[in-house]
Amino acid sequence: MTTGADLFVEALESYGVTRLFGNPGTTELPLMQAIGDSDVEYVLGLHEDVAVAAASGYATSRRYDSHRESGVLPLGVVNLHLAGGLGHGLGNLLNADFSGAPLLVTAGNHHRDFQQEEPILSGDLVSLAEQYTKWAAEVKDVAALPTMVRRAVRTALTPPTGPVFLALPVDVQQAETDQGPQRLGPIPTAGRGDSAAIDDAARVVAEAREPVVVLGDEVARSGGVDSAVEFAEAAGARVHGEILAGEVNFPSEHEQWRGPLSTRAGYTATAMDTDTLVFVGCSTNTTVSRPTEPLVPDDATCVHVTNDGWELGKHAPADVAVLGDPAQVLSELADSVREAVDEDERARRLDAVRAWGAEGNEPPDVADGRSTKHGLARALARVAPEAVVVDEGITASPALHSTFPFEPTQLVGEKGGSLGFGVGAAAGVALAEREAGRDRSVVAYVGDGSYLYYPQAIYTAVRYGLDLTVVVPDNRNYRILKENTALLMGGEPDDYEYEGVDFDPPADLVASAESYGALGLRVDDPAELDATLERALGHDGPALVDVPVTDDG
């Protein structure tokens, strides 16, 4: 006879799941036995939040593969332990929610007839999870298990994608059943959008003086990068990424690309100071704290395109709203706009794009005997231009985004703001790269403050022999807090004294990495930066490169 745990794993296998991420506990033991008897590989993280990050990175990478290969299931599955383990995983569950990562998060729960005793680690698991999931529920009877697993997987994968949660009581896992998995069925897109709304959008873009396109991560998630390029070229528009974009939604080497919008209101308000704005697939296009000035002009005409009705008109008025799959809508818009905008007008617009944000002085590679953040980013671009980069550089991220030659599928970024994402997510990406049979290097570009949340995350890469290089722009402080102090209170970051912000004494990142079995390297001489990165990237196994950097440049 099949148990609930057996049935759960059998359902995962029937849908195409090959890996389950987690950190086990007693209430998960029946599930762990079922995993051991299956072909599903269990991927251990030494902290629940690491396991959630790894599942998120894996799902994001496999989603790209699903655009090219119909048999790929772009789902990350992670199993946590009761309320304590779920609580530990909430930071990266929040990030997964903001990133639209299709995850099935599960947690074992106490026997149903024992929960009233309030045993250790007990709590309302569904309430803990539901604010960061599309759906959260507890499986209260083994008879409901096949339906709930099917529903959970479909909900996670249906655009707009995102995490879901199921609590699995021990007695449900152990209960006997003669049921089998339910068929999953095809997952639909959000469709082509309303044709009248698309016509309105095309008209607005054609009549614009200086159209600006802001692309969000739903573009990459829908496989819409090529369509975005076609649309931008047809419109002759300047193109930016939304604030906190975590994926490549437009090739960074394209002449119309002018970089991501900033969390700093002044720059972003200037970039969006135009007559016509087209927001496509956006979800985080607002500043981290209350903006110091309006980001969108009151008199700008705004077009919104997305597969998520919640996001339509959320951050700016929607004069035209198109609810549909970004890739499909952009493709239709490109055809319409190409016919409506003549070559002379397109050329005039492109001249304006080229003139916008002309390059100023380039920051140096070295200052005060240390690499600058731009210097590090340039070195990484020289030695690993084709790598997949998982970015949690925080204050080092702008230098990376302005320097690295990102092409589609080369970036997985931390989007929700909860630190401790990068190394775990990079381990998941590296597993996905291996599963797809590619040989691209995977680089976790993670600030020292972020790295120190979960230094044990590198153990997962060691345990599974992953090709992963962790590059740490190390400024020995939470620089973002110093910058935000000046933003909130005025002046410059160096005008203030700080408590709890500087790492003094500094942590030994090299020794930490080596203690888990990785190669650890430190770049004390900026002249050795390229060679050290090359050594780490060529190492057979995980490596960490600690790069002391300045806070300027």
Q: Name the residue range of residue 532's domain.
A: 366-548
- Are 341 and 382 within one domain? no
Does residue 80 lie within any of the structural domains? Answer: yes
- Are 131 and 255 within one domain? no
Quick one: residue 238, left, alpha or beta (phi over 0 = left, psi -120 to 50 = alpha)? beta
Q: What would the two tokens of residue 73 be? A: 């299931």
Does residue 207 lie within any of the structural domains? Answer: yes
CATH number, position 327: 3.40.50.1220
pLDDT for res 260: 96
- Are 133 and 8 within one domain? yes
Q: What would the two tokens of residue 502 be? A: 């500087």
CATH number, position 41: 3.40.50.970
- Are 318 and 384 within one domain? no
Indicate the SS3 state at residue 240. Answer: strand
pLDDT for res 358: 67
Of 307, 336, 355, which closes a domain? Answer: 355
Q: Over the chain (553 residues), what is each successive 10-residue block's mean pLDDT? A: 96 98 96 97 98 98 94 96 97 98 97 91 96 98 98 98 98 97 96 96 98 98 98 98 97 96 92 97 90 92 97 95 98 97 97 85 91 97 98 95 96 95 98 95 97 98 97 94 88 93 95 98 97 98 97 78
- Are 223 and 140 within one domain? no
Q: What would the two tokens of residue 466 be? A: 């992953």
Q: How many CA atoms lie within 13 A of 371 on its CB side?
A: 28
Does residue 92 lie within any of the structural domains? Answer: yes
DSSP tag of 477: B
Place of tokens 């002379």: 344
- Are 221 and 370 within one domain? no
Does residue 361 lie within any of the structural domains? Answer: no
- Are 200 and 340 within one domain? yes
Compute CA distances 165 → 105, 117, 128, 129, 185, whole Å. 5, 24, 10, 7, 20
Compute CA distances 485 → 267, 290, 398, whole Å. 18, 13, 19
Question: pTM for the full model?
Answer: 0.97
- Are 147 and 264 within one domain? no
Helices 90-99 + 48-68 axis angle, to 10 = 20
Indicate the SS3 state at residue 443. Answer: strand
CA 456 to chain centre: 20
- Are 378 and 309 within one domain? no
Of 287, 321, 355, which closes a domain? Answer: 355
Does residue 189 lie within any of the structural domains? Answer: no
CA 71 to chain centre: 23
Nearest partner of 296 among 272, 319, 329, 271, judged by Cα: 272
- Are 339 and 396 within one domain? no
C-alpha span between 382 and 374 (Å, rounded): 12
Does residue 108 lie within any of the structural domains? Answer: yes
Of 335, 355, 375, which closes a domain? Answer: 355
Into how many domains does the chain fold? 3
Does residue 57 lie within any of the structural domains? Answer: yes
pLDDT for res 428: 98
Strands 301-306 and 320-323: parallel
pLDDT for res 359: 66
Q: Which residues of 70-91 are buried (b: 16+ CB within 10 A; e: fewer)?
A: eebbbbbbbbbbbbbbbbbbbb
Q: How many CA atoms lie within 13 A of 123 on its CB side?
A: 14
Contact 218/322 with Cβ under 8 angstroms? no
Widest pairwise Cα distance in the chain: 76
C-alpha span between 57 and 366 (Å, rounded): 32
Does residue 180 lie within any of the structural domains? Answer: no
- Are 169 and 316 within one domain? no
- Are 90 and 13 within one domain? yes
